[in-house]
Each structure stands twice: as C-alpha cells, then as structure tokens.
Amino acid sequence: MGEAFRVILLIGLAAAALTTGALALSWWMEPERRLRRAMLKSLGHAAETEALAPAEGRAAGLDFTGGQIAVLWDRGANGLVFAFDEVEGAEMIVDGHVVARVRRGEPRKALDIMAPEAAEVTLRLMFLDARWPEFELALWNARTLSHAPSHTASPAEALRLGRRWLSHIEALMR
C-alpha cells in the first residue's frame, strides 16, 4: 500500500512539473512578449514608442536616443533597423483609404476623421531603401480578433496610436 502511494505521488509530482513547464513555456512564447524581446534585442534597449500587431507577428519601435526605428515580422524572427534619416514618411490607412500622411518634402495630411466602426486600421512606414521601401502594421483588424488578441482595444484607440506615430515620424524628419 505504501509503495503504491509513493508511485501515485511521484506520477502526480511529475504531472505537476510538466504542467508548470508547459505553462511557463507558453507564457514565454506569447506573441506580444516574444515581439517585445525581439524589439529589445534589435534596438539594444527597450523601445521608447512601440506598436505591436501580435496577431500578425509584426511590430515597430522607435529609439529616440539612438536615432533608429526597428520593424519586425515573422513573430520577431526577422526585422530591420533603420536610422531616422532613412525614414521617408508614414501613412494611416483606414479600411483601405489613406486618411493621414506625413512625408519628407510634402505638407502633412492631418487625420481629420474618426472611424469608430472601422474594420481595419493600418500604419504604413516608408523608408529610403530600395529593397524594403515600406512596412505595414495592422493596429486594428476586426477579422483577426477572433484568432488572436489585438494590441489595441478598439478602432479609436488604434487611430490614437497611429496619430501619435505620425507625430513622432513628422518630428524626426525635421
């Protein structure tokens, strides 16, 4: 009887250890956490401003101290880091229409609409690079919400984040 209890106890402890290990691994590999770690590795320290699209496995981060912007894709496995002088501009796209834009040498097209029922809000970053001229990041996508959580809670919040990014991009291009 004592031997059977010991075996059952060992099996229970092994199951608890495996469950704890699996939970720790899933926590560590969570898409948002993984993107933040990749951003940290790309920039060398935490981004001062970031935009994440965990459902897409994409992210962008600004490092004002180092004068660089990092863009990541493939859940952070791939990415590029650009100097601020390589940034050409940025656009906010709502449901397929460019609603705001900042671009080198052009006047700013200000965001003058609010779209509380938007199905998709995208930030497009443009670079002076022939191989990688642009990077799109979905700040809100109603279609992917059922599959993975979004970094922003609503289209309005996505528009606010996008407007903030446009302001940062405009300021760094000056």
**91 φ, ψ (degrees, to nearest 5):** -135, 150
**CA dist 106 to 98, 147, 156, 174, Å?**
15, 38, 26, 12
Q: Is the pLDDT of residue 37 over 60?
A: yes
Q: In the prediction, which pLDDT does 111 show?
A: 74
Q: What is the pTM of this model?
A: 0.80
Q: Span 50-77, mean pLDDT?
A: 93
Range of the domain at 37: 3-173
Mean pLDDT of the region 26-48: 87
Distance CA 157, CA 165 (A): 12
Q: How far apart are CA 140 and CA 154, in angstroms?
A: 7
Is residue 127 predicted with pLDDT exceeding 50?
yes
Which whole number is the average pLDDT over 78-98?
94
> Is residue 148 very low, low, confident or very high in pLDDT (cuts 50, 70, 90)?
very low
165: pLDDT strictly greater than 90: yes
Lowest mean pLDDT across 16-30, 93-107, 134-148: 134-148
Tell me the angle at which helices 2-28 and 31-43 cross, rounded to the nearest 10 degrees: 50
Averaged pLDDT, 79-106:
93
| CA dihedral of residues 144, 28, 164, 147 (deg, nearest 10) | 10
Number of domains making up the chain: 1
Mean of all residue pLDDT scores within the chain: 87
